Amino acid sequence: MSEIASSLGDAPSIDSKSGSDAVRIAEVKAWLTSQFEAVGKEVPEFEYNSRSVAYLYNLATISQAKTQAANIVASDFRQKAAEYRSQAARMREILEASGLAQESLASNIVASAQALANVANLLNIRDTELSSFLIAMGDISLRKTSVEEKRAKVQKDSKILLDYTRKALSRLSYLKRTLAQLEDDVPPCEAQIENWKTNLAVMASKERQYTQQYANYKTALGRVGYTPEISHGVLVEMAEHRKELEKKTKPILETLRSYQDLPPDKALAALAIEDKKRQFAAAEKYLEDVLQSALASTD
């Protein structure tokens, strides 16, 4: 078929080298008629143009060449068959003349000869010589050895592949178990993640709240005059001095309360007020001195 296709593909070149179209059409018609008559059918009607004639002419040429080659091979086979029949008849005459005809032989001998012939056909040898059988058996032994080597290699490869397959199946089972475990762990993890998101949002809100409170406290401390130099120890010392001042001012307050029970007198009241102003100024000056000394000792 490949030769036919290649020949059909070369139709234009063959067309240029062949005779006239009329001769080709006549040859094509004759070939088609012979082919369809061989199967008992008529040639179908179609248009004989240059392209169809070229392809059919090439097809006819190839078919005729193949037919001629087949006839030659068939003639050779018929000739060989005639020779084999003639040789068989001659050998039969010789065997009958020597008393070895098939009818005169025992059944076991005939069976052995038939088995020998079958073995010879099986081994594809032309005769039943011992050397031919030995050569054929040696060839079979070599082929057997080659087949055994290939079989051993295939078995080894199969074993390796089987080992790989088992490992792959084991790994697949492990991966499936891991996947199932991960799928089971997904809901708790999602719930935990949602909890973390909620806590993170709360912490972010608290951070903003604390940041605002810190800014407010810092503003308030700046407004009241807080400085970093005022530490806890300084505040404790100031509280102790305050207590001492309260102890010192307590008798003065009691004295003032005793004066409140007296009848009002403008002159005495003015004197008392001036005296209290002096005492208050002295106490305020003493408090400032104490604070200055406390700050100086802290530095």
**Cα 56 to Cα 25: distance, rounded to the nearest angstrom:** 9
Residues 30 and 53 sit within 8 Å (Cβ to Cβ): no
In the prediction, which pLDDT does 154 show? 94
Amino acid in the structure at residue 55: Y
Residue 15, pLDDT > 70, answer: no
Q: What is the mean pLDDT of residues 250-266?
A: 66
Q: What angle do CA 112, 114, 115 make, to 5 degrees?
A: 65
For 99, the enclosing helix (H) or strand (E) is none
The count of C-alpha atoms lying within 13 angstroms of the C-alpha of 151, restricted to the half-sphere facing its C-beta, is 6
**Of 198 and 37, which is predicted with more confidence?**
198
Q: Tell me how far CA of residue 139 lies from CA of 46, 146, 220, in angstroms.
A: 58, 11, 112
Residue 222, pLDDT > 60, answer: yes
The predicted-structure confidence for 31-59, as pLDDT tens digits, reads as follows: 888 888 888 888 888 778 888 888 888 88
**Of 77 and 291, which is predicted with more confidence?**
77
Q: What is the mean pLDDT of residues 269-279?
A: 76
Residues 52 and 94 sit within 8 Å (Cβ to Cβ): no
**Of 261 and 54, which is predicted with more confidence?**
54
> Quick one: residue 180, left, alpha or beta (phi over 0 = left, psi -120 to 50 = alpha)?
alpha
Q: What is the mean pLDDT of residues 189-206?
A: 91
Question: 70: which 2 tokens?
Answer: 């087949």
In the prediction, which pLDDT does 231 show? 67
Percent pLDDT > 70 in the chain is 81
Residues 234 and 295 sit within 8 Å (Cβ to Cβ): yes
Residue 287, pLDDT > 50, answer: yes
**Residue among 150, 148, 119, 114 nearest 134 (CA):** 119
Residues 25 and 48 sit within 8 Å (Cβ to Cβ): yes
Question: 259: which 2 tokens?
Answer: 């004066």
Residue 2, pLDDT > 50, answer: no
Residues 9 and 59 sit within 8 Å (Cβ to Cβ): no
**Of 3 and 199, which is predicted with more confidence?**
199
Q: How far from the centroid of its chain's Cα atoms is residue 206's Cα?
A: 47
- Average of per-residue pLDDT values in the chain: 80
Looking at 7-11, 172-176, 237-241, which range is the least confident one? 7-11
Q: What is the mean pLDDT of residues 151-179?
A: 93
Residue 134, pLDDT > 70, answer: yes
Confidence tier at 264 by pLDDT (50, 70, 90): low
In the prediction, which pLDDT does 152 show? 94
Confidence tier at 249 by pLDDT (50, 70, 90): confident
Give residue limits of the domains in the chain: 2-104, 232-298
